[in-house]
Amino acid sequence: MILRFSRSLAAVLWLAGPALAAPPLTTIQDVLYKADGTRFNGSLTISWNSFQAPDSSAIVTQSTTVKVQDGLLRVQLVPTTTSTPPTVYTVVYNSDGRVQFQENWNVPASAQPVHVRDVRTSAGGVAGGTSTGGAGADTSSVTESSVVGLVADLGARPMKSPGFTPGRAAVVDSSGMISTAAGDATDCIHVDGSSAPCGTQGAPAFVDGESPAGIVDGSNTVFGLSAVPDPSTSLAVYRNGMLQKIGQDYTLAGTTITFVSGATPQPGDTLLASYRLAETEDSGDMGYSAPQVLCSGAGQSTGTASLSLLGTCNIPAGLLAPGDRIEIRYDFAHQGPGAVSVEVDWGSTVLAHRDTAAGETLITGRTSAAILASGAQFSAESWGASSPFAATVGNAADNYSAGLTVNFKGSVPQSGDTVLLNGFTVLRIP
């Protein structure tokens, strides 16, 4: 009976022995400071994954929090330098209510306290960063379905279509998938995903502050625009700064503005028009008015020895404004063996005069007048079939605000000769 009891007690003690023995511990003891020299106050959250201690004790995944007061740190941990599998502790430093940084510790077996520098294996990142990893980091995979909302989020993202090609512009097709824009490498992509050669699509242009052509004399009601407003509703006509209403103050037909009798512009009135144009070739320039032909046509001929009027262009009052430019182009033809003289007058100012040698058959010229606040500055060029090129510049003091006349003249000193104004054009360039 005594022998049986002794054997039972021995078995109990043998089984209880391993359970009562604690794993070996290493003390980490140090004083922690901040970079400004003050002592660290806060806490350290130390976490680890399951491992086997050097004495074969089973350490399960867990974490502990250690308070640090006035920089004093003291904590005891199971050594990990010889653990199975090799493991490190993840240490997160908390202070001022937030995570400051984190680092990894690899604790050796030691009967004497060790410092933090003795166990630190790698410095942590910024506040809120992820673990820097280590030999004991958890590398197990996580399924998509185990992450709340991940499968739905992945299903909502655009997918690549079978037509997706790397290195090309991406567009979203009609099924919501990411596809590749078709076309040549030099094409331009439209917002609907289609493509076309660049520059073929029209770009809207604008005419701003145009002075409609026509005499402002209190009786004239018809004025002309340099282009057709498109759409017609884009036309805005101002009389002395007051917006006129279409259908009530005027009507529009093509480029012609016709004022009603009760709204007829009076002498001294200023008319301005702004409107859009039809889409034009995309040249990169927008919002600039096209040149306006004020006069163009064939002239007359003369056989007289004194300068005779062969053609006239009347520029209406209120049309020209400072900053405008007038281009005048003309061509004369001479028949006969004698000499010939031609002239272009800007009001009372002679813009160009040319006397040729005998036998000259053709004379042509180009004159440009820059409209100033008062008067104009002009330049003139002329040449002939046998006459050399000649050029001149000058100023014209003529008042253009009340209207102005451009006259083309010619003469032939020798009896029987004739001079003909073949054609002339007067352009206004805003």
Tokens representing residue 347 in the block:
């009001």
pLDDT digits (tens, 9 = 90+) for 306-344: 999 999 999 988 888 888 899 999 999 999 999 999 999
Assigned architecture for domain 292-429: Sandwich (2.60)
Q: Which pLDDT value is given to residue 283?
A: 44
Residue 22 pLDDT > 50, yes or no? yes
pLDDT digits (tens, 9 = 90+) for 245-280: 999 999 999 999 999 988 999 998 888 999 988 765
Whether the CB-CB separation of 235 and 275 falls below 8 Å is answered with yes
Instruction: Please state, as a whole number, how many other Cβ atoms lie within 10 Å of the Cβ of residue 192.
Output: 7
Residue 57 pLDDT > 80, yes or no? yes
* Whole-structure pTM value: 0.38
User: CATH fold of 23-122, please?
Assistant: Immunoglobulin-like (2.60.40)
| DSSP state at residue 153 | H
Residue 141 pLDDT > 70, yes or no? no
Cβ neighbors of 407 (< 8 A, separation 6 or more) are: 309, 311, 312, 344, 345
Q: Which pLDDT value is given to residue 20?
A: 57
**Alpha-carbon gap, residue 354 to 358, rounded angstroms:** 13
* Confidence tier at 215 by pLDDT (50, 70, 90): confident
Q: Which pLDDT value is given to residue 7?
A: 57
**Alpha-carbon gap, residue 101 to 131, rounded angstroms:** 10
Q: Which pLDDT value is given to residue 282?
A: 46
